[in-house]
Amino acid sequence: MSLTLRPYQHQAISELRASYREGARAPLLVLPTGAGKTVVFSAVSAGAAARGRHVLILVHRRELITQASAKLAGAGVDHGIIAAGFPASDQPVQVASVQTLARRLSSISWSPDLIVIDEAHHAVAGTWSAALSRWPNAYRLGVTATPVRQDGRGLGAVFDSLVLGPSVSELIAGTFLTPARIYAPPPIADLAGLKARAGDYRPEEAAERMDRPIVTGDAISHYQRLCNHKRAIVFCCSTQHADSVNTAFNQRGVRAATLLGTTPADQRDHLVRQLAAGELSVLVTVDVVSEGFDCPAAEAAILLRPTQSLGLYLQQVGRVLRPADGKDAALILDHVGNVHRHGFPDDLRDWSLDDRLKRSRNAGPPAPCVRTCEVCFAAFAPAPICPCCGTPAKLSAREIRQRDGELQELARDAVARSRRRDVGRARTLAELLMVAKNRGYSPGWAYRIHNARSNRR
């Protein structure tokens, strides 16, 4: 048996190999949610095992253990699992719960040649660091969709190079992901004065604001009007909030169930199967579905948890971007303004391994260019008309000023200097991509320059 790789996944593996050949020992591969990170690192692990190497795959959720094990089995890779309830084994490839591995470090006598770190944005946390420091000479491969942490810590302490896969917009253009239609109804929840903890809103305070009947009722009426009973995932602030929302959906005749961290494993799987089969219309959750959740049939995401975390936002909306039969667009109903904080799922983002400077409390989050239709409340990038209902957008008038002066012919060497200067001034990936677009270059040109700069840091 073997894994079936898409062209961009082959390309990602080729770029990882090139990174290792160029001297990197710990590259970080960035692939959007739904792009098949598990397939890629399983293929890499299968290749390493075929050469007699020992591979350790680190994950932090039960669902990720199941996914990795299934993909390795599909590639014909004999492997063991290090987790509670699984017997010890001596296979050269092991999938390990990082929490279980940390407790068993003293009893492990073998050494991995390659350590694969799934959801690698967690890798600087204490439990992960303990496992990684046990084998400092092993090669590493990190994979993540969101190489960013809310505490601002970069991942450069664990990884030494950044390998960027295709963007969300490129995967949508290739029909590997589904385009999203985002609706942002008029804000009802009052978030002013909410206190933050660990860089995000305190869940208990956010839940209190979001659990008022007018908010819950509004979410349900918008679901019924816009989703027409499509299969949806609702993201809430807390267990109490999720239970309240679940009750309200069922009282309005919508088949809903709650999936929480305390939900038994077999019941979790049963609920996901029910959602995929259409036996449930809505799955209400807190954080369980943010990572490692694979249900392409999910068609809508309802955001009832405000978050300052870009990573959490992208993980949540990414749950419904996977393509499925009959799904021409994913619906995102954002009741808490997250799209205004973080932008659209397919916006180009300038990922880096460096620490991010925290913005001052009074500065507020960056303001993406997002417009909301006053008639249907669809959220869209600035455009003359709403792409969903066709209502003309209200545009602010801008005065064009004219300055005296004459045009001059530019010498060839001056043009060359100007072109080099344009590239030098383009510091982010988005700016490099704009230069590429203006010059008619392929996006790969911008990625190569960006990767080369990252490697020199």
Q: Clarify whether residues 191 and 325 are in a common domain.
A: yes
386 in a domain, yes or no?
A: no
Distances (CA, A) of 81 to 50, 114, 390: 19, 16, 54
- Report how far residue 49's alpha carbon sits from residue 55's, in angstroms, rounded to the nearest whole number: 7
Which band of pLDDT confidence, cut at 50, 70 and 90, is reported for residue 363? Answer: very low
348 in a domain, yes or no?
A: yes
Q: Clarify whether residues 33 and 118 are in a common domain.
A: yes
Taking the model in full, what pTM does it have? 0.74
Which band of pLDDT confidence, cut at 50, 70 and 90, is reported for residue 265? Answer: confident
Least confident of 26-35, 305-314, 343-352, 445-454: 445-454
Of residues 196, 194, 241, the one with CA closest to residue 219: 241
DSSP result, 191-259: -TT--EETTEE-HHHHHHHHTSHHHHHHHHHHIIIIITT--EEEE-SSHHHHHHHHHHHHHTT--EEEE
- Positive/negative CA dihedral, 376, 379, 380, 383: positive
pLDDT for 394 = 63
2, pLDDT greater than 80: no
Which band of pLDDT confidence, cut at 50, 70 and 90, is reported for residue 360? Answer: very low
Of residues 126, 129, 116, 115, the one with CA closest to residue 158: 129
SS3 assignment for 364-401: CCCCCCCEECCCCCEEECCCCECCCCCCECCCCCCCCC
Q: Which two tokens stand for residue 294?
A: 């694979």
pLDDT for 364 = 43
Of residues 270, 263, 267, the one with CA closest to residue 287: 263
Q: Clarify whether residues 145 and 233 are in a common domain.
A: no
393 in a domain, yes or no?
A: no
What are the residues whose beta carbons fall under 8 Å from the beta carbon of 363, sequence distance 6 or more?
A: none
Q: Clarify whether residues 186 and 333 are in a common domain.
A: yes
Distances (CA, A) of 270 to 232, 235, 287, 394: 16, 19, 18, 47
- Report how far residue 341's alpha carbon sits from residue 417's, in angstroms, rounded to the nearest whole number: 38
pLDDT for 207 = 62
SS3 of residue 281 by DSSP? coil
pLDDT for 40 = 94
392 in a domain, yes or no?
A: no
Q: Clarify whether residues 316 and 338 are in a common domain.
A: yes
Q: Clarify whether residues 128 and 198 are in a common domain.
A: no
Cβ contact 57:118 at 8 Å: yes
pLDDT for 148 = 87
Which band of pLDDT confidence, cut at 50, 70 and 90, is reported for residue 368? Answer: low
Domain tally for the chain?
Answer: 3
Q: Where among 142, 166, 190 does a domain terminate?
A: 166
| Mean pLDDT estimate for the chain | 80
Per residue in 71-92, pLDDT (tens digit) is 899 888 899 999 988 988 889 9
Residue indicated by tokens 């205004």 = 340
Q: Clarify whether residues 274 and 196 are in a common domain.
A: yes
- Report how far residue 154's alpha carbon sits from residue 354's, in angstroms, rounded to the nearest whole number: 5
- Report how far residue 376's alpha carbon sits from residue 226's, in angstroms, rounded to the nearest whole number: 10
Q: Clarify whether residues 159 and 191 are in a common domain.
A: no
Cβ contact 147:120 at 8 Å: yes
| CATH number of domain containing 184 | 3.40.50.300
Q: Clarify whether residues 445 and 302 are in a common domain.
A: no
pLDDT for 379 = 75
Per residue in 371-381, pLDDT (tens digit) is 777 766 677 77
If one compares 314 and 291, the residue with the highest pLDDT of the two is: 314
Q: Where among 330, 362, 380 does a domain terminate?
A: 380
SS3 of residue 21 by DSSP? helix
308 in a domain, yes or no?
A: yes
Phi/psi zone of residue 228: left (φ > 0), alpha (ψ -120 to 50 degrees), beta? left
215 in a domain, yes or no?
A: yes
36, pLDDT greater than 60: yes
Q: Clarify whether residues 146 and 198 are in a common domain.
A: no
Least confident of 34-38, 209-213, 262-266: 209-213
- Top mean pLDDT of 207-221, 323-337, 428-442 is at 323-337
Which band of pLDDT confidence, cut at 50, 70 and 90, is reported for residue 197? Answer: low
Q: Where among 380, 404, 421 does a domain terminate?
A: 380
Distances (CA, A) of 117 to 242, 298, 433: 31, 27, 29
SS3 of residue 119 by DSSP? coil
Q: Clarify whether residues 97 and 138 are in a common domain.
A: yes
249, pLDDT greater than 80: yes
407 in a domain, yes or no?
A: no
- Top mean pLDDT of 45-54, 123-132, 361-370 is at 45-54
Q: Clarify whether residues 347 and 284 are in a common domain.
A: yes
Of residues 21, 22, 44, the one with CA closest to residue 31: 44
pLDDT for 431 = 75
339 in a domain, yes or no?
A: yes
Domain that holds residue 154: 7-166
Least confident of 1-5, 58-62, 234-238: 1-5
Overall average pLDDT of the 146-158 stretch: 87
pLDDT for 317 = 92
